[in-house]
Structure 1
Amino acid sequence: MSDEDDLYPEPLTALDRAAILLMTLGESDAAQILKHMGPKEVQKVGLAMSQLQNVTRAQVEEVLADFLEAVGEQTGLGVGADSYIRRMLSEALGEDKANGLIDRILLGGNTTGLDTLKWMEPRAVADIIRYEHPQIQAIVMSYLDSDQAGEVVKFFDPKVRLDVMLRVAALESVQPQALQELNDILEKQFSGSGSTQTTSMGGVKVVADIMNNLDSNVEGDLMEAIKEIDEALGEEIEDLMFVFDNLVDVDDRDLQTLLREVKPETLTMALKGADTRVQEKIFKNMSKRAAELLRDDLEAQGPVRVSEVETSQKEILGVARRLAEDGTINLSSGADQMI
């Protein structure tokens, strides 16, 4: 790294800024903020805090100055509080990460029994709902984030796994009584028990997202079993899934955007077990020098565990889905686009 690189460090991401702000607040104040965050938010901010290195005084001052400027815009306590909270959290966490937290704060949502499951290890969640009715299990799978649900479902027997996924695919909405029953099971009072509105939940897309987070052998067995029962449903799920080999169909410009977000060591490990077409597609969308280095790294790399390859591929797919959800890239193949 040159001296010039030291003088002009990489711009801070929204997550980095949140981590710096929390670390400057002190343990007590930071803890009070973290109490209002969801498990995913806490995990991401905590990881960002642990990875902070070589933060300059100028960067800390920049983060604090921006925060103080936001506070200084307020004319008084309670005046424009909602807009202030939205701006502050969006600035600290980024728009996507802040949305869920903003809704919980401004709508006064209490933590429900379902919410507590998001803080638990997948095996513990599986143990809690193992002997519940499959429909209850399906509601839980629909409520959890897809990556956590994918981990939980691994602990089910294959027949149970199949039954639950079919039920998730069939779900469209859930009556308050069903949510009340689940929260009673978890010995928590459902905060929305008085509501008469149904809750949108489940569906084929949820199943596809969960399947994307399963190990390839588990995903393959489960997909085969689903198709034996309902071939059309299986094909619909497959159409909504995005796996590593699908990168070959991504537009070159979008693929280049994705590659800029991926660590070199992660890409090398992911390509170790990738289809030749995917490898060539990625080489094509790198500079000649970078492609040569990547080829050399692949040739020099010895045998690796399949699980390590799958983990790296899933990490890249996670980045791809995030960019797609942000509207930064399009994961549809060229054939699906308008001409």
Structure 2
Amino acid sequence: MDIQRSLTQRQKAAVIVRLLLDEEDDEAVSLTRLNVDLQTLLAEEMAGMELIDRQTRDAVINEFCENLEAVGVTFPGNLDGTLEMLGGKLSQDSADRLRRIAAMSGRGDPWQRIAALGKESLISLASSESVEMVALMLSKLPVPRASDVFSSLPRDRARAVAQAMSMTGNIGAETLHRVGLILLQAAESLPRPAIDTPATERIGAILNLATADLREEVLGSLEAEDMEFADGVRRSIFVFAHIPARIARRDIPRILREVEQPVLLRALSGKTAEQQAATEYILANISQRMAEALRDDLADLGKINPRDVEEAQNQVITAIRELEAMGELTLQQPTDDEDA
């Protein structure tokens, strides 16, 4: 049988997919990377086929394997895959420009890029676009992200968006795609700050390692000028006294492995009520033998200069921040009544 004349290329593809359907690994037959038109054509070909003899099947497999062996290099075939492949090799400006071009041309799935936008960008869209479009956007976002954005809206707009969501049930795929493109183009036109980190976090990081008296003096000055900004700075500050509220119990032993014992002893020797509470929290979440040894060493430590205590505590905080940056622990969110 001449395989080239008996089956078209689409039918050969259908044969390969049918064989892959017998595999237990669902990822092996995932067709979601194909666009809707290609998926439809493939399904139509499969619907029109019945029996394929063994000789034809083997010929299709051989041809498929020969084509694979002839491939020297492959490319993702879409912008999202290309940017992922290039990783950090492109500058952020270049990556943004490419995404903007793709958004304007309509290539790719706009909702995947919308879901990857930062919280501030999503809030800007939710605050400026029509409530109907915002309702569709929240319907397409993962529920935790949608809830986060929705909770940031003013109450009257949140009510309007919620009401508009009742009208999103019958929207067609093509209309949904166009709405995604409009939102993505709007997001691409948002100004991108030259410094990504919010000012509250930058000042908070600086004040983290400042002395306590300087930190309180600066915070007092900020509160006199802008209470909302000062509150944001306070919430971004993380000092030794915050350890019980911000560090999970299971992470304490991991942190202590990063701190030299003389530094740890000085850090644990703080005399304020907040510092002693943090010390007790640390000692309560390590082995009993280690805790007893540290208590004995603290008893023999003698008087320590408060500045030395503060410097040691800052070294502990630095170790925590480094572990956080490496993804080895996550700081718990501060509560509204937590004081810096």
TM-score, structure 1 as length reference? 0.40
Task: Report which of the two structures shows the higher radius of gyration computed on alpha carbons.
Answer: 2
